[in-house]
Amino acid sequence: MKRRVVITGLGIVSPVGNDIQTAWQNIVGGQSGIGRITRFDPTDFNCHIAGEVKDFDVTQYLSAKEARQMDTFIHYGIAAGIQAWKDSGLELTEEMATRAGVIVGSGIGGLHRIEDTQTEYLAKGPRRISPFFVPGSLINLVSGHLSIMLNLKGPSYAVVSACTTGLHSIGDAARLIEYGDADVMVAGGTEATISPLGIGGFAAMRALSTRNDDPTSASRPWDIDRDGFVMGEGAGVLILEEYEHAKKRGARIYGEFVGYGLSSDAHHITAPDCDGPKRGIAMALNHAGINVDQVQYVNTHGTSTPIGDKNETEAIKLAFGDAATKLVINSTKSMTGHLLGAAGGIEAVFTTLAVYHQISPPTINIFNQDPECDLDYCANEARDLKIEVALSNSFGFGGTNGSMAIKRV
């Protein structure tokens, strides 16, 4: 019999707030975190907007000297990880340390540092390449640093699966606990790619919104006038814990991680297909032992792309059948933008809080709902909602899909 996994800690760095209380308040209040890019001058690009992290003080978590040795995505991941750890109230003995691990992934990793180092190299030669360049850019170094800082001696690695990274990290971590390889896991995703190459690459694909004159309403999932996603940045991290372990120490339990599904479209590197997500959702519900009519809420991938939103709507209808019309669905990306590898992390945080507080955040900016997206997307206002089971979806380039189910405790 598989062991039960519960969520006992949450941490976040995001465009809508750098702590759980602020971020949740803004998400429920329908506050957008999107604005004009300040990280660099975007004038020459067709996209000038993004969901930037604001007023983040890395020295709350690291010394200024240590921080200079790491890319920004590592800063965000460490910050969210430490927040979640403190929120959980865990204190590890040396014996417990070998049963605690970490999986915090990133979709792209140290893009800022790679760009900056290349510029420095071209201008001043190889002697200017820092010895911290490689460890400051590697994706698994978020897990590495957190393992050292928190004395986590169990499994430590990173998952990389594009925009499904955060969800896959959490799902894999839960499996390690279920199968007895760990009792505690720190898990989530982090990303910081608001840079010339990050914005330029997605802009070249025509994937980004160009609604530059109205940033706060640019991300509009399910709206007929949606024109692409808005890039975001940040990190979302959960503390997963074996149920008896959490109960024994009197931990606050936000919810139970009950289902994990993953699949591949085997279709196209960027264009989605509804069969893959449908199978991922079905696998998560099957793993949880839950029927389609027992789910009340879905935090969708919902990126605000013309193809993606319609495809996810179809996948949900295929997976849930007639029960799809009774679901309350939302996309918090309408407020945060799309955090790529961190999306599944922060959305797992929001899904957990939706279950814990019994409220669905809104999907803002639905001014004219697309007739082909014909479900209940909790348009523009949060809603008190009895949620026994919630689902969160993430999908990524390469046709990779993930779904997770959280149950009220």
Q: State yes or no: is 338 an active-site residue.
A: yes
Q: Which pLDDT belongs to residue 45?
A: 98
* pLDDT computed for residue 1 by the predictor: 66
Q: Return the number of other C-beta atoms located less than 10 Å from residue 388's C-beta.
A: 13
Rg, the chain, Cα only: 20
DSSP code per residue over 61-122 = TS-HHHHTTS-HHHHHHHHHHHHHHHHHT----HHHHTTEEEEEE-SS--HHHHHHHHHHHH
Q: Which of 163, 274, 373, 378 is catalytic?
A: 163
The model's pLDDT over 279-331, given as tens digits with 9 standing for 90+, comes to: 999 999 999 999 999 999 999 999 999 999 999 999 999 999 999 999 999 99
Half-sphere exposure of 124 (CA within 13 A, CB side): 8
Distance CA 72, CA 111 (A): 9
Residue 370 neighbours by CB under 8 Å, 6+ apart: 222, 223, 224, 226, 309, 310
CB atoms within 10 A of CB 378: 23
Distance CA(253)–CA(8), nearest Å, equals 5
Burial 191-223 (b: 16+ CB within 10 A, else e): bbbbbbebbbebbeeebbbebeeebbbbbbbbb
Q: What is the mean pLDDT of residues 94-112?
A: 97
State how far the alpha carbon of 152 is from the alpha carbons of 99, 109, 280, 312, 331, in Å: 8, 22, 31, 37, 33
Give the span between the Cα atoms of 131 and 234, in whole angstroms: 26
Q: Which domains does the chain have, with CATH numbers?
A: 5-248 (3.40.47.10), 259-407 (3.40.47.10)
pLDDT tens digits for range 200-223 = 999 999 999 999 999 999 999 999
Catalytic residue among 245, 338, 373, 378: 338
Question: What six digits make up the tokens of 226?
Answer: 């949606």
Rounded mean pLDDT, 262-276: 96
Q: What pLDDT was estimated at residue 125?
A: 97
Q: What pLDDT shows up at residue 2? A: 82
301 carries an active-site annotation: yes
Section 185-208 average pLDDT: 98
Return the HEC string of 205-227: CCCECCCCCCHHHCCCCCECCCC
DSSP 228-251: -B-BB-EEEEEEEEEHHHHHHTT-
Q: Are strands 156-157 and 100-105 parallel, antiparallel or unpaired?
A: parallel
- The neighbouring-strand residues paired with 51 are 232
Q: Which residues pair with 390 in a beta bridge?
A: 297, 406
Q: Which two tokens stand for residue 161?
A: 């699966």
CB 210 within 8 Å of CB 46: yes
Query: Can 75 be counted among the known catalytic residues?
Result: no
pLDDT score of 338: 98
Nearest to 189 by CA among 165, 156, 157: 165
Token pair for 333:
């990306």
Can you give the pLDDT at residue 221? 98
Q: What is the pLDDT of residues 343-397, one digit of tens each?
A: 999 999 999 999 999 999 999 999 999 999 999 999 999 999 999 999 999 999 9
Query: Quick check: 284 and 243 in contact, CB under 8 A?
Result: no
pLDDT (average), residues 34-62: 98
Which position among 48, 112, 287, 301 bears the catalytic label? 301
Check pLDDT > 80 for residue 249: yes
Q: How far is CA 125 from the centre of its chain?
A: 37
The pLDDT tens digits for 147-159 are 999 999 999 999 9
CB atoms within 10 A of CB 280: 28
Mind giving me the DSSP string for 145-161? Answer: HHHHHHT--S-EE---B
Q: What is the largest CA-CA distance in the chain?
A: 64
* Residue percentage of the chain with pLDDT more than 90: 100
Q: Is the pLDDT of residue 169 over 90?
A: yes
pLDDT at residue 66 is higher than 70: yes
CA separation for the pair 296, 406 (Å, rounded): 11
Q: Is the pTM of this model over 0.95?
A: yes
